[in-house]
Chains A and B, each alone.
Chain A
């Protein structure tokens, strides 16, 4: 039984670290701010959340379990807000989408053509 818990913890840790790595590769490879934001905020949140959950499963102390879970909830609440705010600010100021993006639904004129609004 204890072995099963340890195996679950090792699995969660590896998957979480893998998702953090995927997020940073996406940050490096994607073409513009908005698509990078999608990589960083979704995969990054999943990665660190999984590692905190692994800590909560591994620990046998109630205080540590609570803190780790509170950390997960807090991170899930704040990460989307932060990146949404950043995206809105960048779009309002006029950072453009990359030329290979297909459409811009927030554009005031033609969403399919006017990508540089």
Chain B
């Protein structure tokens, strides 16, 4: 009988020693996803051959890349983020404004921030022809949130 108890205890402790909610594996704060399209043929994605992206007074996220879409983080300490997107040495500045909403995820991840009422307050048009917002709530990274036509 005593032996059985010991076996039960060992069995249970081996199971309890691992805590799978200690590592954050859930998706948390989403990035802003921008997709570039051809202004003449608005259903066709168009690459930028020399793309450099940085937020106002910060380091570059992308340097001289050839891409048709980018994922960039938004500032969680402000209700706006200003990004500079450079296409073949021509710069354009876009100012995004939004409301932040913190949503509980799990023990290990804590809270994630989602962005609501997402808008473009202002942008320059040196190479950008037009911008359209696909989704004004940024709560996932499944599809592009804004389209830039050039």
Query: Do chains A and B stick together as partners?
Result: no
